[in-house]
Structure 1
Amino acid sequence: MVDDVWTVALTVGGYLLLMIWVGAAAARRSWTPEGFYLAGRALGPVVLTATLVATILGASSTLGMAGLGYSEGLTGAWWLLSGSLGLLVLSVFFAEKVRGAACYTLPELLGERYDPRVRSAASALVLVSWVGIIAAQIVAAGKLLGVLFGPWQEIFMVASAVVFVGYTALGGQRSIVKTDTVQILILLLGLLVVGWRALHLAGPEILAGQSFPTSDGRGGVDVAILVLLVGSTYIAGPDIYSRLFSAKDPKTARRSALAAALLLVPLAFIITGIGITARTLFPEIGPEEALPVLMAETLSPLAMGIAAAALLSALISSADTTLLTATSIFSLDLFRRARPESSDRTMMIVSRGGTVLIGAVALLSALRLPEIIATLLSAYTVFAGGLIVPLVAGFWREKLRLTSDGALAALIGGGGTALLFGAKMPLLGMAASAFILFFVSWLSPQSRRDIRG
């Protein structure tokens, strides 16, 4: 806990109030489903790039990456560099196709490529796993503020959740992209403040002896596995696709994905470098405590307030996008398909109510049922193992002679393989998904007509 707690508290409190104000102001134009979920499909390259980067820089890319730098050195940067490579592939090969599909959600895109069964299975899987990701961001926010202000993590978790659930329910995508634009500027400022101070104390020579691109702790095979596993989730991430669907045109989607990929490269080394310096200055702490302890022990109260707001912005900017992604799937892929006659007014009520409901479930999981979070997050492993191959291959479905039965079998078989064996063989799920997709598809008669919906 810091000495001048009031200066830090006022800075962080001011940041949270600013986010509420920015989000509420943007909500005035979100009165239709397209405005609520996709910001009217009008995002330009600067705003789209900013919100993509803000979405990506969550708990794993800040607290987790600094922890990797603390524990293994500069090769920890491969976590975010893998994402950068995935975004690069997305930009070159898929971004224009994704935006050109004019869908609202990733499961809807899968449904168009295959059939309603695949859409429903993908919807259920993403919805469950995304609740776990929201809960994980809430827990991370509580731990961060707990380091700074004392052992009231539950109160901090509730406060953080109320802020991002509130402005997301009010304005949807419009509120998120506006707050993300502010948050990424705060985040960059905070990382520069912490990075400069840490490097000043530890000395720039601390980075000179670091091994890269491989090290004793992470060899070439380990790097390749990380690039394939993490990078693939950036090629087919529901939260990233929600951004591309919001672009004003396909070229903007492609250019913004490319710009975000390039911006992640220096950020990967900055965040990892912060973790490396923390290990030199505080060798007795846990790896994921590197960023908050470095802030609490080395910065002035005002600088620490800025850094705390920056790190909190990273967590919140990922949580709000994940929340809206889950809400869109709940409302559009599940509710609207069950009630296709629903008016826009009804859909807006369901959307805002669904946002609050999903946010509350995630908060409850974070507060009282932490063991459930691990179970929910395991569904993300199933998502990666089961959905990525059918989704990517689906862009060339006719040429590859893929069927809906093959896609559904790949989702279930690849996801189940990832769930059972992913801890020891992280790529086995995707390999099984690919094999099942082509095997089942090519066994099906070519004359078979896929169900469309």
Structure 2
Amino acid sequence: MNNLRLLDLAIIALYLVAMIAVGVYFARKNKNPEQYSSASGTIPGWAIGLSIYATFLSSNTFLGVPGKAFGTNWNAFVFSISMPLAAWVAARYFVPFYRSTGEISAYTHLEKRFGSWARTYAVVCFLLTQLARIGSIFFGIALTLQALTGFSMEMIMLVTGVCIIIYTVLGGIEAVIWTEVVQGVIKTFGALLILYLIIENMPGGVGKVVEIGQQNGKFSLGGFAPDFTQSTFWVVLLYGFFINLNNFGVDQNYVQRYHTATSAKQAAKSIWLCVWLYLPASLLFFVIGSALFAYYQVHPELIEAVKLKVAAERLPLTATAAQISQTASQLLPSDYGDKVMPHFMVTKIPTGFVGLIVSAILSAAMSTISSGMNASATVFTADIYERYWNTKLTGRQMMRALHLGTVVVGLLGMGTGIAMIGIKSVLDVWWELSGIFAAGMLGLFLLAVISRQTSNHEALTATIIGVLVILWMTFSASLPDNLVVLRNPLHKSMIIVVGTLTIFLLGLLLTRLRRNRLAVGATHNEVQQTA
């Protein structure tokens, strides 16, 4: 059933048309690959900062974070707290490095340091990360619009995906950045509007939200004990630092933006602008989740429809109403957290405002997807097509490769989103997949940048062992009970921490051992010559 009024539909349609129009407008300027991929270095730092902020503020944040806060607490907010330290490292070391190389791809340097295998490995990790990110975002937007329109999630992903592909293919990175500037403002306004409407409908207002939140531990940042088997404060802090360092320092989505800035100083400023915008914005979404929890504690009858729907999805089609009702009564808030905000929008937000908020959610999805598509197309063209198939691409051929790469990544991302239908928490899935794919890439890159003495052989050995560790930590949970001693005892968020450190530290150790052997050999030769 379609729950959107004509005015809401008109606002959403107008927004989609406007995004395509932006792509058409910037298409006139994209006459060469440099303009398409880096805007020829003409974008001001504040616009890049807003663009990075909008990329962080994806639909995973818009829907997944309130769902997480509704189902558990504010433990995931520690991820945001870790951002300033990662930003400092990136602004101090990575931005000047990338600007000095002049390479549009973040991974070209790996081949110069360790050979083609390193570049190819990082590219594969990056592309898998992007598919996971784009798929989870497609899933999140489809989850919301299905509740509002009644259309199938597959149809919603197809329609929104086509619109995103069109304006990204036409407009290039400049269209992506300037639309993200607008989208960042729309998203923030939409979140503030949702919070206002929740509080407006809440008996007792803010005071009641705080009271219920405190009673149910909703504001907890997690335990502070040194326990790395649970999602404690320290586990999320470590996970957040390594993921954010990967984002700011290694991810092509962000590295490519540094090249669009007028100077290295402007690029560094863009990182800090993103951090100081995202910290309060992410807190806002946790507040929304806690406010929704309090609202439905006061009005538990208003959430029954969501619980019944989730219960029905978990049971066979032949299940009776009594069985569905019994299963619904046993559900925990974490079982249906992602569906709460769409439900509130359907039932409590006035006509017209729904269209604005859906446009905000669409903008959250479109900004991250479009930037991921553009970055992936750049990596595909520079690191795969041009590297292995055609080393002498003309400008026109490179533009065709960029356009084709954008379309292919968009279609694969939609397929990934469709494959995710039925998952419990979109934020959990994204965190787990990104940690797995990013761990090896970040460890190898740190080894390349920090240790100038590490050789190709040592880096390859460290990477192979690191990948084996990552695979063990990821899949050992499925080992049979008689092999329980071989299971990974750490929390899954520690995969990127352990994987990154394994590659980096093992590479340093192997380098040190080689240098010691060479020193001993040199000393031995000197002794023999003296004798």
Q: TM-score, normalised by structure 1?
A: 0.89
The residue identity in structure 2 corresponding to 1:384 is: A
Give the secondary-structure state (helix, strand or coil) at the position aligned to 1:277. helix
Counterpart of 1:416 in structure 2 is 468
Quote the offset at 1:313 in angstroms.
0.8
Counterpart of 1:246 in structure 2 is 260
Greater alpha carbon shift after TM alignment, 171-180 vs 413-422: 413-422
Aligned positions, number: 446
Find the aligned partners of 1:213 and 1:363 in 2 and give their Cα distance. 34
Find the aligned partners of 2:259 and 2:512 in 1 and give their Cα distance. 31
Where do residues 180-329 of structure 1 align in structure 2 (5 Å cutoff)? Answer: 180-202=180-202, 203-206=205-208, 208=210, 215=220, 217-219=222-224, 221=226, 222-237=232-247, 238=251, 239-282=253-296, 284=303, 285=306, 286-329=336-379
Any conservation in 2 of the 1:154–1:367 contact (CA below 8 Å)? Answer: yes
Larger CA Rg, structure 1 vs 2: 2
Where do residues 95-110 of structure 1 align in structure 2 (5 Å cutoff)? Answer: 95-110=95-110
Q: CA RMSD in A?
A: 2.9
Any conservation in 1 of the 2:218–2:290 contact (CA below 8 Å)? Answer: no
Aligned partner (choices 433, 436, 439) of residue 506 of structure 2: 436
Counterpart of 1:30 in structure 2 is 30
Greater alpha carbon shift after TM alignment, 423-432 vs 98-107: 423-432
The residue identity in structure 2 corresponding to 1:289 is: K
- Distance change (3 Å), C-alpha of 1:50 and 1:376: closer
- Distance change (3 Å), C-alpha of 1:128 and 1:3: closer
Quote the offset at 1:118 in angstroms.
0.8
The residue identity in structure 1 corresponding to 2:472 is: L
Quote the offset at 1:106 in angstroms.
1.9
Quote the offset at 1:341 in angstroms.
1.1
Find the aligned partners of 2:436 and 2:457 in 1 and give their Cα distance. 18
Give the secondary-structure state (helix, strand or coil) at the position aligned to 2:117. helix
Find the aligned partners of 1:213 and 1:293 in 2 and give their Cα distance. 20
Quote the offset at 1:207 in angstroms.
5.1
Where do residues 26-425 of structure 1 align in structure 2 (5 Å cutoff)? Answer: 26-202=26-202, 203-206=205-208, 208=210, 215=220, 217-219=222-224, 221=226, 222-237=232-247, 238=251, 239-282=253-296, 284=303, 285=306, 286-338=336-388, 339-367=390-418, 380-398=434-452, 401-422=453-474, 424-425=490-491
- Distance change (3 Å), C-alpha of 1:134 and 1:74: closer
Any conservation in 2 of the 1:42–1:246 contact (CA below 8 Å)? Answer: yes
Give the secondary-structure state (helix, strand or coil) at the position aligned to 1:25. helix
Greater alpha carbon shift after TM alignment, 220-229 vs 340-349: 220-229
Find the aligned partners of 1:326 and 1:375 in 2 and give their Cα distance. 21
Any conservation in 2 of the 1:87–1:260 contact (CA below 8 Å)? Answer: no
Quote the offset at 1:263 in angstroms.
0.8
Quote the offset at 1:38 in angstroms.
1.4
Find the aligned partners of 2:209 and 2:421 in 1 and give their Cα distance. 37
Find the aligned partners of 1:180 and 1:189 in 2 and give their Cα distance. 14
- Distance change (3 Å), C-alpha of 1:58 and 1:3: closer
- Distance change (3 Å), C-alpha of 1:235 and 1:151: same
Residues 399-429 of structure 1 show CA distances to partners (whole Å, capped at 9, x for unaligned) of xx32233333333332332232157441322
The residue identity in structure 2 corresponding to 1:328 is: T
Find the aligned partners of 1:369 and 1:214 in 2 and give their Cα distance. 29
Find the aligned partners of 2:376 and 2:29 in 1 and give their Cα distance. 21
Find the aligned partners of 2:93 and 2:451 in 1 and give their Cα distance. 15
Any conservation in 2 of the 1:381–1:415 contact (CA below 8 Å)? Answer: no
- Distance change (3 Å), C-alpha of 1:364 and 1:60: closer
The residue identity in structure 2 corresponding to 1:327 is: A
Identity %: 20
Find the aligned partners of 1:146 and 1:371 in 2 and give their Cα distance. 13
Quote the offset at 1:251 in angstroms.
0.4
Find the aligned partners of 2:87 and 2:391 in 1 and give their Cα distance. 34
Greater alpha carbon shift after TM alignment, 165-174 vs 371-380: 371-380
Q: Which consecutive unaligned segments of at least 5 residues does structure 1 have?
A: 449-453
Any conservation in 2 of the 1:63–1:291 contact (CA below 8 Å)? Answer: yes
Quote the offset at 1:135 in angstroms.
1.9
Residues 169-214 of structure 1 show CA distances to partners (whole Å, capped at 9, x for unaligned) of 1122112112111211111111111112222333112454557998
- Distance change (3 Å), C-alpha of 1:273 and 1:443: same
Q: TM-score, normalised by structure 2?
A: 0.77
Find the aligned partners of 1:201 and 1:183 in 2 and give their Cα distance. 27
Any conservation in 2 of the 1:382–1:414 contact (CA below 8 Å)? Answer: no
